[in-house]
Amino acid sequence: MIFSVIDPQDEVIIPAPYWVSYPEMVKMVHGIPIVVTPKDGTFTPRMEDILEAVSSYTKAIILHSPNNPSGMVFPPDLIAELVEFCEEKGIYLIMDDIYHRLVFDGIKAVPGYQFTEKDIESTKIIVANGVSKIYGMTGFRIGWVITNRRLVEVMTNVQAQMTSNPASILQSAAEGALNGIQSYVESLRLTIENNRNVIMQEMRSFSGVRVSKPQGTFYCLPDFRAYQENSVELADFILKKALVVTVPGVEFGMEGHLRLSFSGTVKDITEGVARMKWALDPESPREIYIGDRKMIRDWL
């Protein structure tokens, strides 16, 4: 998609936190990623911050809601404003909707096409989606875009020279998922929502850590700056001491944060948070068992 719409020196606005690949994809085609971090300290983009970043070189804005890594679902009024602005200015609005049905608390991820009066052949909205998240088919790598026919032809020409070989059995499986019984998606969503509630309960007892309640996806992005500003060093420390894998927030444009996944079992979630607390929080017990091995914290 980026290969199809971005020319060298074109600017692409990317609100932070963002999926790690976005800036690098823009750089690959010699475009310029313009990262916009909300000035109010939240994970929800503000229209005024985005407008401040727009220039005569702006070619596209990438919007990812529900958002990986924060789990935030962007409000409908923001989506509506962005759609109106992009349609008026002729800027592509690229919407990554891959988690659109994995949302909680009755919240809905509103599609951008709801807010445009233009037809599919003239709108500047491009929607990307796939089967990997809502159907749990991460290894199948089957996805799609919704946009005008001319742009689809360009994307097809680009893809034909890059990854033109999705296996027929994977395509058939994706078709079966889309056309089959959809109750599985709701079952998955309920499981992940329960996991979200568990990790929020566990994180609230973690002294010094601030975490925004995810509204979707299966990730959260707690702020660990009370313990360590450098998220790479912190992730490495937690991995070595507590044997827990996290992803440094700096990779998502949010230094001092760590991305945590709650897509596993409740036992995995509670044990993972307990291990992190043991490694970082001096108020937690000094001893812990990791498997059959008794571990003693001797660095605090």
23-34 per-position pLDDT tens digit: 999 999 999 999
Tell me how far CA of residue 241 lies from CA of 162, 210, 272, in angstroms: 41, 22, 12
Residue 41 has pLDDT above 90, yes or no: no
Instruction: Give me the pLDDT at residue 231, please.
Output: 98
Rounded to whole angstroms, the Cα distance separating 288 from 275 reads 8
Instruction: Give me the pLDDT at residue 193, please.
Output: 98
Q: How confident is the model at residue 164 (pLDDT cuts 50, 70, 90)?
A: confident
Name residues whose C-beta falls within 8 Å of residue 234's C-beta, 6 or more positions apart in sequence: 224, 227, 228, 246, 248, 258
Name residues whose C-beta falls within 8 Å of residue 203's C-beta, 6 or more positions apart in sequence: 209, 211, 220, 222, 273
Residue 77 has pLDDT above 80, yes or no: yes
251-284 per-position pLDDT tens digit: 999 999 999 999 999 999 999 999 999 999 998 9
Tell me how far CA of residue 86 lies from CA of 66, 77, 81, 117, in angstroms: 20, 14, 9, 12
Instruction: Give me the pLDDT at residue 249, please.
Output: 98
Rounded to whole angstroms, the Cα distance separating 267 from 265 reads 5
In the chain, the domains with their CATH numbers are 2-179 (3.40.640.10), 183-296 (3.90.1150.10)
Name residues whose C-beta falls within 8 Å of residue 257's C-beta, 6 or more positions apart in sequence: 17, 221, 222, 223, 224, 225, 231, 249
Q: How confident is the model at residue 165 (pLDDT cuts 50, 70, 90)?
A: confident
Angle formed at CA 125 by CA 87 and CA 31, multiple of 5 degrees? 90
In the chain, the percentage of residues whose pLDDT exceeds 70 is: 100
Work out the number of other CB atoms within 10 angstroms of the CB of residue 292: 5
Instruction: Give me the pLDDT at residue 163, please.
Output: 78
Average of per-residue pLDDT across 114-126: 96
Name residues whose C-beta falls within 8 Å of residue 73's C-beta, 6 or more positions apart in sequence: 65, 66, 67, 103, 107, 108, 109, 215, 216
Residue 3 has pLDDT above 80, yes or no: yes
Average of per-residue pLDDT across 214-231: 97
Decide: 25 and 2 in contact? Cβ < 8 Å.
yes
Helix 266-280 vs helix 183-204: angle between axes, to the nearest 10 degrees? 20
Instruction: Give me the pLDDT at residue 199, please.
Output: 98
Tell me how far CA of residue 113 lies from CA of 10, 70, 76, 83, 238, in angstroms: 24, 23, 12, 8, 42
Average of per-residue pLDDT across 225-241: 97
Instruction: Give me the pLDDT at residue 264, please.
Output: 94
Residue 201 has pLDDT above 90, yes or no: yes
Structure-model confidence comparison of residues 56 and 300, the more confident one: 56
Residue 136 has pLDDT above 80, yes or no: yes
Instruction: Give me the pLDDT at residue 173, please.
Output: 97
**Residue spans of beta strands (DSSP E) within the chain:** 11-15, 32-36, 58-64, 92-96, 125-130, 143-146, 219-220, 247-248, 258-261, 287-290, 293-296
Residue 39 has pLDDT above 90, yes or no: no
Average of per-residue pLDDT across 65-73: 98
Q: What count of Cα atoms within 13 Å lies in the side-chain half-sphere of residue 123?
A: 21
